[in-house]
């Protein structure tokens, strides 16, 4: 074999290696990446389909739960709704032994347009009584959501606490 034949063979080998490298970088790697993305997308669609079938099979249970949640909302008449919230508040304060110092009951619209009664209360008590009040608030069967809570100590030992709480209760919309 002559020196020029070797150079020619080496040149062909270099061209082949560079060609394979470029084919790998420009064709094979992007195709493999695309294949993996599509496989992941197909698996996500399959999972969404399974979840959709699960929701369809649970439609009766979901509708029953929704009806129960609507029943747990405030009465449609504002005075009756305010009376129910005040009755619950009175029961919670008696059970927990907190002293309510101020109370506001403004009506607001939720993001979905559902009317809600927003309660702002300031109360005083010790740690146990405030914890009991908050427990009663959360465990209330009425559709109630705690929006904000602020606690502050009234003495140096932290035995007397002041609570500023804001919560809301929903009133279901009329369905026509």
Q: Supply the pTM of this predicted model.
A: 0.58
Are residue 99 and residue 138 in the same domain, yes or no? yes
Which residue range forms the structural domain that includes residue 36? 3-57
Residue whose structure tokens are 């007397």: 160
Backbone angles phi, psi at 169, to 5 degrees: -130, 135
CA distance 151 to 162: 6
**What's the number of domains the chain is made of?**
2
pLDDT, one tens digit for every residue, the chain (176 residues): 566 888 888 889 999 999 988 888 888 888 889 999 999 999 988 888 777 776 777 778 878 877 877 777 778 888 888 898 899 899 999 999 999 999 998 888 877 777 788 999 999 999 999 999 999 998 888 878 889 999 998 888 768 899 999 998 876 665 53
Are residue 118 and residue 161 in the same domain, yes or no? yes
Are residue 44 and residue 102 in the same domain, yes or no? no
Are residue 84 and residue 119 in the same domain, yes or no? yes
């Amino acid at each position: 074999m002559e020196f020029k034949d070797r150079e020619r063979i080496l040149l062909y080998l270099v061209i082949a290696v560079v060609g394979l490298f470029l084919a790998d970088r420009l064709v094979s790697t992007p195709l493999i990446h695309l294949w993996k993305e599509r496989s992941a997308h197909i698996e996500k669609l399959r999972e969404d389909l399974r979840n959709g079938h699960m929701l369809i099979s649970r439609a009766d249970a979901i509708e029953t739960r929704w009806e129960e949640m609507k029943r747990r909302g405030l009465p449609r008449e504002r005075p009756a709704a305010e009376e129910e919230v005040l009755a619950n508040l009175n029961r919670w304060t008696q059970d927990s032994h907190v002293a309510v110092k101020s109370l506001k009951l403004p009506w607001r619209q939720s993001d979905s347009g559902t009317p809600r009664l927003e309660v702002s209360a300031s109360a005083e008590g010790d740690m146990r009584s405030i914890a009991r009040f908050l427990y009663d608030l959360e465990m209330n069967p009425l559709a109630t959501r705690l929006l904000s809570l602020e606690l502050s100590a009234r003495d140096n030992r932290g035995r007397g606490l002041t609570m500023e709480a804001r919560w809301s209760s929903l009133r279901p919309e009329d369905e026509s």
